[in-house]
Structure 1
Amino acid sequence: MRSFDRHRRLRSGEAIRRMVREHQLSPDDFIYPLFVVEGTGIRREVPSMPGVFHYSLDQIDDELDEVVELGIPSVILFGVPESKDACGTSAYADDGIVQQAIRYVKERHPSLYVMADTCLCQYTDHGHCGVAEDGEIVNDESLRILTKTAVSQAQAGADMIAPSNMMDGFVTAIREGLDEAGFVQTPILSYAVKYASAFYGPFRDAAHSTPQFGDRRTYQMDPANAREALREAESDIAEGADMLMVKPGMAYMDIIRRLKERFDIPVCAYNVSGEYSMIKAAAQQGWIDEQAVVLEMLTGLKRAGAELILTYHAKEAARWLREG
């Protein structure tokens, strides 16, 4: 018989498979998203995202305690305000819902690393991520409001600013604004590579941010483009980004890998709402093993090069990992 390689030798038992495993998932890898709303007594499940809730601040303690107990180091806050206008002015209000939530979370759990989503789509009455004029999203005026929003979030105590708006120059504008306001040490997680994806539907349900006209293709990226992702990331690094986000995650693992190989700063993957809801729906039908699929998917994102994973599965995954 001709000689051949015996690759199965290192797969023969659980112990040796664990010993040679190339990538390990940990709760330290996860960022957990939270949707905070104004009012009291609100704990309302998002219809298209089983297990994900809107929380008023008086209802969020148990959720925060569980995140900390599971060893998840970070949360990112998405606000759903009561009032909206054409320019999203409630995004930078000192008493805005995200600003209130940042102060509350940091007071209750000072060690929890709090990221603030910096975008306008939840705060504008038209649902776009920037200022609209005559049916167009205007870039530079949007930067002014986004910068005010980032500064207000830092003033409230956010540990990191995570701008997700995809306006040109948003990292430069926010970095300069933070520095001028005395927040030189506040890092920026840039949503450098955010595609105009069909996977965002459930999030728009959760954030009440569906565009009221047109779509977001004039500022979010074409899903067919890969080289453009490198240009976007390179610009954001030059402008002062400390970390890079690729959004969505599952359909763009090749982009995560390209960024990881090209740039020497941390890369984060956003395991988005549509990815989450597809798994939940299939699991509810009994078509898949939810735990096995989630952990395989998250491992795939890490294998592709993501140091951090923003995922709605964070609590479940952390619990499963602890249980072994």
Structure 2
Amino acid sequence: MTTTPDFRFRRLRRTKVLRQLVRENHLRPEDFILPIFVEEGIQEPVEIASMPGVKRFPETQLGGELRRLWQLGVKAVILFGVSQHKDDCGSDTWNDKGLMARCIRTAKAATPDMLIISDNCFCEYTDHGHCGVVHDNDVDNDSTLENLQAQVITAARAGVDMIAPSGMMDGMIAAIREALDSEGYTHIPIMSYSTKFASAFYGPFRDAVDSNFKGTRNTYQMDPANGREALAESLQDEGEGADILMVKPGMAYLDVIREIRDGSNQPLAVYHVSGEYAMIKAAAAAGVIDEKSIVLESMIAFKRAGCDLILTYYAEDIINWLKEE
């Protein structure tokens, strides 16, 4: 005779309504931030071969695309510029007439209520593709911080809603906060790429931004083997004044997300990066997975690990799928 336990977990799984009633984690349209690529000098959108469904948009179409997304329910975007005016330090980013500033102004004029975030780095604007000023074959931390201060002030003057520094320079949050506050932009929050790994999952992104990057970023982005350092990096940025922390990439670092969530009360974001996106697309195209189910399960994994916000190229699709639930 089989002994039946007094408590049966399956009681609360019997119907869809019951399952929804006791569900611990939920996805909402407000949870998602959509990356947008804007290329200088093109007239029509350019498909990114390694990221099916993702395009680089011309500046002339940015406003219309953001209005379309707003109507669909996308509440926040992060802007990446694909510059045709690159130099050794990324000076176009602190030019009030440069690509970054123009994109921010266009975005705010088109969709005043949408949250417009600027990715604040230099890799898309330097001719060497690194995230700052290169001295002796490495990125010079403190020289890059000075340029970053000029860049974020330009973004603030253009009307940006949030700054998102991604270069993993030591002291970048303190430097940015000092620059913004000194110019009267005390209201602008900072979402720090606070724990960003030197990851192989970024490969397709280089196609997205037309990067000629050579070598590695191992001296400034984090070693994927280090968990304790990952927590320390985010706590350091919190101490310097970061309003939101971030882990990048996502799926291979759920343990890191949980450690940071347990160690900090700040809002926590995750970047579901280009390689993660491309792998799902490839598997779906091969017919070996159900794309929608895999994506939604992955997003729930981020929420369960402790994330509040998710940056993903699937944001528009997810919002549409949620409407179907």
Q: TM-score range by the shorter chain?
A: over 0.9
Matched residue of 1:235: which SS?
A: helix
Structure 1: tracts of 5 or more residues without a match:
none
Structure 1: distance between partners of 2:159 and 2:268? 24
Give the partner amino acid of 1:289.
Answer: D
Give the partner amino acid of 1:123.
Answer: Y
Per-residue deviation, residues 150-201 of structure 1 (Å, max 9, x unmatched): 1111110100000000011000111101111110110000100000000000
Give the partner amino acid of 2:164.
Answer: A
Task: Using the TM superposition, give the Cα deviation of residue 2 of structure 1 relative to its aligned residue in structure 2, in angstroms.
Answer: 2.9
- 1:231 is aligned to 232
Task: Give yes or no for the alignment of 1:122 onto 2:140.
Answer: no
- 1:314 is aligned to 315
Structure 1: distance between partners of 2:19 and 2:130? 48
Asked whether the equivalents of residues 256 and 304 of structure 1 are also in contact (C-alpha less than 8 Å), the reply is yes
Structure 1: distance between partners of 2:277 and 2:42? 27
Per-residue deviation, residues 278-323 of structure 1 (Å, max 9, x unmatched): 0111111111111111111111111111100000000000001102
Structure 1: distance between partners of 2:50 and 2:65? 20
TM-score normalized by the length of structure 1:
0.97
When the two structures are aligned, how many residues end up with a matched partner?
323
- 1:251 is aligned to 252
Task: Using the TM superposition, give the Cα deviation of residue 70 of structure 1 relative to its aligned residue in structure 2, in angstroms.
Answer: 2.2
Matched residue of 2:148: which SS?
A: helix
- 1:165 is aligned to 167
| Identity over aligned pairs, percent | 51
Per-residue deviation, residues 57-101 of structure 1 (Å, max 9, x unmatched): 212344212321222210000001102111111122111212111
Name which of 77, 101, 104 aligns with 1:102. Answer: 104
TM-score normalized by the length of structure 2:
0.97
Give the partner amino acid of 1:169.
Answer: G
Matched residue of 2:180: which SS?
A: helix
Task: Using the TM superposition, give the Cα deviation of residue 209 of structure 1 relative to its aligned residue in structure 2, in angstroms.
Answer: 2.8
Instruction: Tell me whether 104-113 or 51-60 shows the greater mean CA deviation.
Output: 51-60
Give matches, 1:68-79, under 5 Å: 68-79=70-81
Structure 1: distance between partners of 2:290 and 2:138? 45
Structure 1: distance between partners of 2:303 and 2:65? 25
Per-residue deviation, residues 20-62 of structure 1 (Å, max 9, x unmatched): 1111101110000000111252200111111111111212344
Asked whether the equivalents of residues 32 and 311 of structure 1 are also in contact (C-alpha less than 8 Å), the reply is yes
Matched residue of 1:60: which SS?
A: helix
